Chains A and B, each alone.
Chain A
Amino acid sequence: MSEGVLHAGAGHAVHHADYLEEPKGLWSWLTTVDHKRIGLMYMWSVLFFFLVGGIFALLIRLELLTPKQTIMDAETYNRVFTLHGAIMTFLVIIPAIPAALGNFALPLLLGAKDVAFPRLNLASLYVYWTGAAMAVATLALGGVDTGWTFYTPYSTTTGGGVTLMVLAAFVLGFSSIFTGVNFIATIHKLRAPGMGWFEMPLFCWGMYATALIQILATPVLGITLLLIVMERVLGVGIFDPQLGGDPVLFQHFFWFYSHPAVYIMILPAMAVISEVIPTFSKKTIFGYKAIAFSSVAIALLGFLVWAHHMFVAGMSLFAGAIFSFLTFFIAIPSAIKVFNWIATMWRGSISLEAPMLHAISFLLIFTIGGLTGLFLAALSTDVHLHDTYFVVAHFHYVMAGSNLIAMLAGMHYWWPKMYGRLYNKKLAAISAAVIFIGFNLTFLPQFVLGSRGMPRRYFNYLPQFQDLHVASTIGSWVLAAGLFLTAAYLLASFRQPKGMTANPWGGRSLEWETSSPPTTHNFEGQPVLQHGPYDYRPEPAPVGVKELAH
């Protein structure tokens, strides 16, 4: 224990077993209300579905190695890309950082014993498992061939397990809402004494902004999905013009959730990066308030830009102009964050441990992902690029690349805290590089495919596009190799004895002041904030001094 924590009852030197060991048994895990255990179960569930979604991704890339049929027919291909998208979006990327890392880390960072509503937290995990089981069960009904976006009237007229898949997404929405409600209450009520809003680690700001979107936008998706079910099952005409409905209305409803959902994916990624970069630069975060407010700004602006997915869908010229204009404002807080992170590294003491390597990967990939968004926000260029591989590449850079790599950064950062063990650092560095190369080799060629006119969701393509498809497919193998290497050395770390110190990276936030792994109640007594989460000065300012912040 460092000097940062006041021990309530410090006189008793009772040794508590860590949260992994006590209580024991599978049943104790399945009925736990400990946020750390729930976080880990979420993490392994997400990783499992990442493997499933990843296998579908490899199949897609293999099919696209040649024009026409390579390994599967068109109908199978349509089902495979739908499952890839639906699994990766609803089961992996949306819960990845908030539900897995957030659940594990948020209370620790706040100096709390648990989240505000521990049982609701466990309920959210079971709701997630239920939704996941429903999504997988659609395979038995012949799969789903609508794409993860469920555009009407295709989705209300095609066969297969669309209704079940839509209900699965509906159920998964609740797990997302439960987590959001929990995080908001936790951040409001359970911060350690002495921790004002601006003494919170920025990870908490990111989680707060994410939670806002989760509770405000997810209900709209739920309602929309129920309307699809009503149309499919009861024949109520809402979206299908045959029944007097409006198919474009669906797109408005769908993107009203699904665009903010993009920020459910990127804000937590940014939240992780805001922790990793100061720790491994051993330097206070540059522009704390700018980053904190940028997160909230992105969350709020995210609600005003949905129709930029519909510039060619027959919207009015005026609506197109408004949505394009508003979309560009998202670029500003994003740019601010990137420059702040680089400024944090400036004159720091930079240590290239695995989490930092992933953070640097994130900076580069997010720079490309963010800037290529400008092509799609601008009206005239979007008309050319909409629904081509350019869009596929762009959203993989943002949703997959940035989110996934930030998830890896966070897992490598908190792994010693989770398990009290360290992975092989050399292999971690190698695989970080392999993943970076593999990712770019997979998706960089797709920008060019798209700008040359290759449409997305194509089973077959013209021969002129083959070279770039081959490059992309090879990239997917490199990326897979990097990820399997990561899985291997992380699993191998369990063969090491637990022997991690409380603070292996020299971090300044509260989670590093308790043992690795922590006890069930996180801290021995209630920790009190002694210094800011990013205060790397040799002699931290004493408590209560106004300028203490960060």
Chain B
Amino acid sequence: MNWFRDFLLPRGASTHVGEMDGLFMFITLLTVFFFFFNGGLIFYAVRRWRRRSDREVTPHITHDTRLELVWSLIPLAVVMLIFLWGFKGYVKAWVAPNDSMEIIATGKKWVWEFEYPDGTRTLNDLHVPVDRPVKLVLTSEDVIHSFYIPEFRLKRDAIPGRYTELWFSATKPGIYQVYCTEYCGKGHSDMLARIFVDTPEQYETFLREGDEQTRKMPLTELGRLVWENKGCATCHSLDGTRGQGPSWKGIWSQKHRGADGKEHLVDADYIRQSILMPQAVVVQGYEPIMPTYQGLLREREILAVIEFIKELQ
């Protein structure tokens, strides 16, 4: 029956596949069987007892309790079996193992944003290591979306103002399609994402250097992304507005007066130091509240921030 399964279902690539495919094929065969069984009975009855004369007399059979019990109880037993089978798979897909890696997935019209444990964020491309349980915490910023990976046999709604979860352990490295399956307007059918199931080495590279998208991105563009995604934007404006920290606008090659009264030239080294050791120089008039980004930014991202600030004249 494998050819029939492969005709009906996409290839499976998560630990949930076996359970679901088994039940799917069981009900499929049941459906095919009963279609031909009922169809066969009808066809036979029509052939055998087609009316030949209007005078024909038919037997007056009102009911048959035993027969009716048979065709009530057998279906009852079958559907209870299906219920238990389906419940078993659902429970398994519901309860994530304790050692799952947690990734936050946020849907918004019409993209998926992923946030990894180390603070890395990606748009529409989700990287996960093969054979490791991954728990996705889903939410939405606008309307309801739904996160669906056919190859994993998984789906869960992303609901604004709530958190829902799904977990999987991918079994085969490769790229898998993610669809939005809750209607969300004009871009619903283009709200596609991809899951990259990486080998451990590929995943290491991803963590170190970012995904393909960010690796190819020009530095200034990446710098803006870091500013948006890594929390810089909370305190540092781009338009000269005073925030918790000094604005980045036009500071390149200017002088910053530190709390100690000395002047410091804003150059690449100064910015690097301010990111990694923010307490070394605190600009006069500001609180020493910035946390260090040691270990949270990749080398390329620090360079990107420097390039980005350079451009902000």
Contacts and interface: CB of A to CB of B under 8 A. Distances in A.
Interface of A: 74-75, 78, 145-147, 151, 153-154, 157-158, 241-242, 246-248, 281-284, 286-290, 311-314, 317, 320-321, 324-325, 328-329, 331-332, 335-336, 338-340, 342-343, 345-352, 360, 363-364, 367-368, 371-372, 374-375, 377-384, 386-388, 448, 451-453, 455-462, 506, 535-538, 549-550
A384 B90 CA distance: 11
Contacts of A350: 45-46, 49-51
Q: Which 9 A-B pairs have the closest CB atoms?
A: A380-B89, A453-B150, A378-B86, A241-B161, A379-B90, A458-B189, A349-B56, A283-B58, A371-B31
B49 A74 contact: no
Interface string B155-168: 11101111010000
18 contacts: A74-B186, A248-B159, A287-B64, A312-B156, A314-B159, A332-B79, A342-B45, A343-B67, A347-B58, A350-B51, A364-B35, A371-B35, A381-B20, A384-B150, A448-B8, A452-B8, A453-B10, A536-B60
A343 to B, nearest CB: 7
Contact of A364 (B9, B42, B179, B189): B42
Contact of A347 (B49, B80, B160): B49
B180 to A, nearest CB: 7
Given A312-B156, A549-B62, 4 more contacts: A284-B62, A332-B79, A380-B93, A536-B57
Contacts of B183: 78, 146-147, 151, 154, 456-457
A455 to B, nearest CB: 4
Given A375-B27, A381-B24, A462 B58 contact: no
A371 B30 contact: yes
B54 interface: yes
Given A151-B144, A332-B79, A384 B189 contact: no
A346 B85 CA distance: 35
B286 interface: no
Contacts of B94: 317
B8 A352 contact: no
Nearest to B148: A455
Interface of B: 7-10, 16, 19-20, 23-24, 27, 30-31, 34-35, 38-39, 41-42, 45-46, 49-51, 54, 56-64, 67-68, 71-72, 75-76, 79-80, 82-83, 85-91, 93-94, 142-144, 146, 148, 150-151, 153-157, 159-162, 164, 177, 179-190
B103 to A, nearest CB: 18
Given A314-B164, A350-B50, A380-B93, A550 B62 contact: yes
A388 B10 CA distance: 13
A296 B259 CA distance: 82
B177 to A, nearest CB: 7
Contacts of A241: 159-162
B189 A286 contact: no
A282 B146 CA distance: 52
Given A332-B76, A345-B49, A461-B189, A383 B20 contact: yes
B38 A374 contact: no
Contacts of B164: 314
A389 B187 CA distance: 18
A379 B24 CA distance: 11
Nearest to B138: A314
Contacts of A329: 79
A288 B62 contact: yes
B60 A154 contact: no
Contacts of A462: 177
B179 A380 contact: no
Contact of A154 (B68, B144, B155, B181): B144
A321 B38 contact: no
Given A283-B58, A387-B181, A314 B157 contact: yes
A340 B148 CA distance: 40
B185 A154 contact: yes
A181 B159 CA distance: 39
B159 A381 contact: no
Given A451-B9, A550-B62, A379 B188 contact: no
A320 B153 contact: no
Contact of A387 (B19, B30, B51, B146): B146
Nearest to B192: A462
Contact of B181 (A74, A287, A343, A455): A455
A500 B129 CA distance: 75
Nearest to A372: B31
A388 B181 contact: yes
A149 B239 CA distance: 44
Contacts of B62: 284, 286-288, 549-550
Q: Max chain B CB contacts within 10 Å: which of A241, A388, A549?
A: A241
Contacts of A332: 72, 75-76, 79
A346 B59 CA distance: 10
A451 to B, nearest CB: 5
A228 to B, nearest CB: 14
B56 A363 contact: no
Contacts of B20: 380-381, 383-384
Nearest to A282: B58
B169 to A, nearest CB: 16
Contact of A74 (B9, B86, B189): B189
B185 A158 contact: yes
Contacts of B185: 78, 145, 154, 158
Contact of A381 (B27, B143, B148): B27
B31 to A, nearest CB: 4
Contacts of B160: 153, 241-242, 247
A549 B150 CA distance: 54
A452 B181 CA distance: 14
Contact of A458 (B34, B39, B188): B188
Contacts of A154: 143-144, 183-185
A374 B79 contact: yes
Nearest to A146: B183
B85 A378 contact: yes
B75 A153 contact: no
Nearest to A334: B75
A549 B59 CA distance: 15
A371 B78 CA distance: 12
Contacts of A352: 46, 50
Contacts of A340: 68
Nearest to A281: B58
B82 A374 contact: yes
Contacts of A339: 68, 71
Nearest to B152: A384
A223 B154 CA distance: 34
Nearest to A382: B86
